Homo-oligomer: A and B are copies of this chain.
Amino acid sequence: MLQNTPLKIMYLSPAGGSRGDGNNIFAAMAEQNKRPGTEVHIVSPPPDDGLFTHIEYRSYEAIVTRGIVRGVRAAAKEGFDGLAIGCFYDTALHDAREISGEMMVTAPCVASCEIAASLSNRFGIIVGRRKWVHQMHSTVAANGYEDRLSGFYHVELGVNDFQTDHDRTANLLIEAGRKAVELDYAEAVILGCTMEFGFHRKLEDELGVPVIDPSIAALKRAEYGALLKRQCGWKPSRKWSCEAPPEDEIARFGGFDNGEAFAGRLVVEAA
């Protein structure tokens, strides 16, 4: 059964739709990292709510969450097996899981922490700006990994800066990584922004510890969840706090289904 039907994974980048080629980077990431039998769609919400190229501010997140839950609902209806929300804030993850039907939803922070915790006892997270730390710390703690944390290390780059000067970015990330490993005794490092893509192998070489790329982690965790669903039958709970809203109420209230759910869809086929 697994061989015949590809696993379908959606990678939903909350701010990528208006970034022009923003999603190409994630398509390349998926191409390099997915299992052969997995099909990945990279999408963003349509720009109805604003032309965000990043969501570093909580108030930006509050505006794009509408697009995220609409996209998740649409993906579930299209029959996707798993979905990854492409922002290290794990924006709207709880909201998305409520409305995802039988589709598993994950996100970069929790996916990265799981991996780092399986490979080390203590890890640091390299972020762009100090601004982000409070929220990300809360997310790490809510997922139960606070005791594992050596700290957050910021390099004073914004989301849109990481891919502009690759050498400078690499140097800043390495410097932050050294601080984590040498001063704070981190045993692994997580890159705390999906736009830090492309640097994890270089950092591993320099630092000598595992370095987790969060967009890869999210994709792989979605794929793992999809495998568990297909092979073992494990689907999201719909009991108690996991209860989904009733369909007739959704229809009556509106808000979920009007207009296009996605922009900029790129498809990476199963091999």
Interface residues of A, Cβ cutoff 8 Å to B: 2-3, 33, 35-36, 49-53, 56-63, 65-66, 68-69, 73, 92, 94-96, 98-99, 104, 106, 110, 114-115, 117-122, 130-135, 138, 142-148, 181, 185-188, 201, 204, 208-210, 212-213, 216, 220-221, 224-225, 227-228, 231-237, 239-245, 252-256
- Closest Cβ of chain B to A226, distance in Å, is 11
Contact (A62, B66) CB under 8 Å given A119-B104, A119-B235, A204-B233 = yes
Contact (A50, B130) CB under 8 Å given A63-B69, A237-B187 = no
- Closest Cβ of chain B to A169, distance in Å, is 20
Q: Which of A2, A187, A233 has the most CB of B within 10 A?
A: A187
In the complex, the answer to whether A50 meets B255 with C-beta atoms within 8 Å is yes
With the chains together, A253 CA to B210 CA distance in Å?
A: 30
Q: Given the complex, which residues of B lie within 8 Å of A138, measured CB to CB?
A: 142
Which of B73, B120, B188, B220 is within 8 Å of A232, CB to CB? B220
Q: Given the complex, which residues of B lie within 8 Å of A92, measured CB to CB?
A: 62
Q: Given the complex, which residues of B lie within 8 Å of A241, measured CB to CB?
A: 121-122, 130-135, 187
Chain B residue with the shortest CB-CB distance to A70: B63
In the complex, the answer to whether A252 meets B51 with C-beta atoms within 8 Å is yes
Q: Given the complex, which residues of B lie within 8 Å of A187, measured CB to CB?
A: 237, 239-242
A sample of 12 more A-B contacts (CB under 8 A), given A50-B254, A121-B240, is: A57-B245, A58-B94, A60-B253, A62-B92, A104-B119, A120-B237, A121-B241, A122-B241, A130-B240, A181-B239, A210-B236, A224-B227
Contact (A35, B2) CB under 8 Å given A62-B68, A118-B106 = yes
Q: Given the complex, which residues of B lie within 8 Å of A63, measured CB to CB?
A: 65-66, 69, 255-256
Which of B224, B232, B237 is within 8 Å of A224, CB to CB? B224
Chain B residue with the shortest CB-CB distance to A59: B99
Contact (A134, B121) CB under 8 Å given A62-B69, A187-B239 = yes
With the chains together, A231 CA to B31 CA distance in Å?
A: 11
Q: Given the complex, which residues of B lie within 8 Å of A73, measured CB to CB?
A: 59
Would you list 13 pairs from A and B whose C-beta atoms are within 8 A, ordered by A residue? Answer: A33-B231, A57-B245, A58-B95, A59-B98, A65-B65, A106-B118, A118-B225, A119-B235, A119-B236, A143-B144, A187-B239, A210-B237, A220-B227
